[in-house]
Structure 1
């Protein structure tokens, strides 16, 4: 194996493992590593749990495990980021999940949750020791939790001597099945009623491609995303949010209530409308139907539903533009999407708005918007490559003036999905 080709977190975890877990006599297995990427979402925010469309891509930032199989059912982990151990047992899962979850640090609960869901699916697992590393910004809207969950599934597969496999053909779990399993693991680990966007994006990543995912049917197809003169710039506000304690679950509940009210309003006017009887999510309500009935909704529900219905249309617009190679036009839709997140869905914050405003004034920035659940995290920016330095300078100058904070700027590339390697 050529270690120079491994991403930095994978190399870091492999290098640290012998120092952290130095009892070589405890293992009869080779050292191996498993990883999965974070993601950016070009367009389609908060549409996934409304049965809508999303357009993400995996990026070259990963969560990684490096370790060895144990001879028992114990899982021992060391976090290179948090500098702390976590330990749990696969025995008794998933029934004793809540009992084992309580003493664990937050990051380890995701690993436990994935193990519980794999066992619930009837898959046989083995214990392992591993160092956990990563360079997906935590709480930054690039889905560090989903990267950790999908990397956990890859690690369980690797360290359980390939008792199950993940892949497109003749595998125990398809990528979408793996995403769904890890989505359920997030629900039980964090209490966050997340959609499937993040896990699917991590599982489905391909270099130089975005993926259009229908979050209801789970059908997907790839779109080219390779523009030599355009950079995908992620700018981190430095503001961290805890989605489970934020308004995320509240937004989901509001969308469900808006759907029910709109369905009832349509059926009152058109009792024989079979299409209306089948309305289950905002995805099912056309822009024309929304325009007709929106003024009969309470203001907050009108704003939430209006954003989601329009955002689904924006995703489909961007797909057509990417197919036509019109990347500058894609940028214009990002500005509009941010305004909707700020004013209608109300999940932005002063720091995110500041970064988008600063980017708007830099020539060569095609578009920018907040990304992820909201209330902090990152913005995604489509930037002409020769304008990246100007954007960086503008952010370094004006962002601290406006917020009293420092922002970090990174260029990301559409990258491959999860993987693993045995090193010795």
Structure 2
């Protein structure tokens, strides 16, 4: 059966109890930011293209209180995080900036503190997340955005939402050393209940599109596979895309048509692998726009077909899928009631997302459990709201 996602009240109570036990005082505020699943539009964000994610009910909570000391004390309740699970460091100043160090999870927090536009203040905090790590559901961006939102709540300083996303992205680039796109931070801020969100990664225009009411749901299947080549291969593909755009004297693949790419390929100016990488991005941008229109027109069949085409392109042209993910997609597509299924996230493991009629969810889960030799986790998800602050009077 699909896992039940803990309610926000349950998570908040657990985090409050841990804070009181750790620090011996009551917390004041909590900042909450969601994970995300990308429905279509993969590896287009860093090519200034289009993406179409939705915010998840799985969240990261940072909860705590401002102190009079010039230091930050943070405890994570995520036992899968690298050790130690508790860190303490002094507030940065011009002479002593924050430094990247172990544990890695704290570097995301340090980066956000470093780039926060408001006053730096000392605090005690506890972090709790029910977003699976390494599953491609954007646990890192949820941590960054919840941290920035927590600092806003402590200080009263409010940063423009798009600038906030850019600063969180910069924190990941410079402190976690991950050259991520901007989709994950934007959806963690702009997510809206009942909606998926079309993001233009060049203009940063945001368009929330209501998901039509139907007998269908989105089912996430976590393969529990994470291949180590993911980060290095991500960088290789990004560089390849930039090189193809440069050959056509364009800023990014966003500005190139398939006809132009085919003409470049026929001149032998690029090799077959570069051609296929660029072809994925160009066609994926078009699929993403078509998928948005399909949802607006209540055409779930068309939306599902575009999901299938997206996965095939990611697997065959961009080559970021893997044997386990391809198997999960195949099992879903062979099952009754499925409109479409695809990998989601950066690839080389992680999760699939499937649009399926509610009536057939249990039979698909059983089929995967019978045929998939590794452990799979299942989540039925609805689009949820973006980052926000909760004042904790009723929890303490």
Q: TM-score if structure 1 supplies the norm length?
A: 0.87
1:25-424 to 2 correspondences below 5 Å: 31-82=28-79, 84-92=85-93, 96-97=97-98, 100-102=99-101, 104-118=102-116, 121=117, 123-160=118-155, 162=156, 164-165=157-158, 173-241=159-227, 245-263=231-249, 279-295=250-266, 296=268, 297-400=270-373, 405-424=374-393
Please give the secondary structure, in 1, of the residue aligned with 2:304: helix
Q: Provide, for residues 168-222 of structure 1, a one-character-per-residue CA deviation record: whole Å limited to 9, x for no partner.
A: xxxxx22221111101011012211111011001110100011111100111111
Give me the whole-angstrom Cα distance separating, in 2, the residues matched to 1:238 and 1:115.
31
Q: Provide, for residues 281-308 of structure 1, a one-character-per-residue CA deviation record: whole Å limited to 9, x for no partner.
A: 0000012212222232211110110100
* Residue matched to 2:3: none
RMSD between aligned residues: 1.8
Give me the whole-angstrom Cα distance separating, in 2, the residues matched to 1:93 and 1:153.
20
With over 3 angstroms needed to count, the CA separation of the structure-2 counterparts of 1:7 and 1:150, relative to structure 1, is farther
Contact 2:92–2:114, Cα closer than 8 Å, also in 1: no
Contact 1:39–1:202, Cα closer than 8 Å, also in 2: yes
Contact 1:33–1:66, Cα closer than 8 Å, also in 2: yes
Contact 1:94–1:116, Cα closer than 8 Å, also in 2: no
Unaligned runs of 5+ in 2: 1-5
Q: Provide, for residues 252-309 of structure 1, a one-character-per-residue CA deviation record: whole Å limited to 9, x for no partner.
A: 111101111233xxxxxxxxxxxxxxx2000000122122222322111101101000
Please give the secondary structure, in 1, of the residue aligned with 2:353: strand
* Residue matched to 2:15: 13
With over 3 angstroms needed to count, the CA separation of the structure-2 counterparts of 1:44 and 1:95, relative to structure 1, is farther
Give me the whole-angstrom Cα distance separating, in 2, the residues matched to 1:290 and 1:79.
47
Contact 2:230–2:346, Cα closer than 8 Å, also in 1: no
Give me the whole-angstrom Cα distance separating, in 2, the residues matched to 1:134 and 1:93.
32
